[in-house]
A = this chain, B = another copy of it.
Amino acid sequence: MKRTQTPWPSGIKKTRPRACVLGVLENASAPLSASQIVSQIEKSGDAIWLSTVYRILDLFVKQGIVVRLAVMNSDMAVYELNRFEHKHYAVCMGCRKIVPMDNCPLEAFVPQLDESGFHVLGHHLEIYGYCRDCEPK
């Protein structure tokens, strides 16, 4: 569980805490908060300090390895691996199934914003609703 599937990112010193954090994120099925990451690591027998996790996450974010998300109605940031796919998902509120969207609805929109003087670097999109199977109820 603490073995990383991907090769270690270049330009980053490989340390035990960093490997632990990366490992947890690689095995996460959903974005995690810093303290959740700490719990995961402690559960697997390692010790780690919360402030260390924050520093590691900051580094990873700066390196583009990890993405930091602010989820609405939550006062806690969550982090997930940057999988470098430009893809969005619709999440079913019934069964939690994740439906990938084939193309990005923003593509046509970004140039429009660019024209107005705002240089778009990225975006985050959350779609929620019900899939076919969970529909009415």
Residues of A within 8 A of B (CB): 68-75, 77, 90, 92-93, 99, 101, 105-106, 108-110, 113, 116-132, 135
CB distance from A110 to the nearest CB of B (A): 8
CB distance from A105 to the nearest CB of B (A): 4
CB of A121 within 8 A of CB of B105, answer no
Q: Which residues from B are CB-within-8-Å of A71?
A: 70
Tell me the number of copies of this protein: 2
Q: Which residues from B are CB-within-8-Å of A109?
A: 101, 105
Contacts known (A70-B71, A73-B68, A125-B125); A132 close to B117, Cβ less than 8 A = yes
CB of B132 within 8 A of CB of A127, answer no
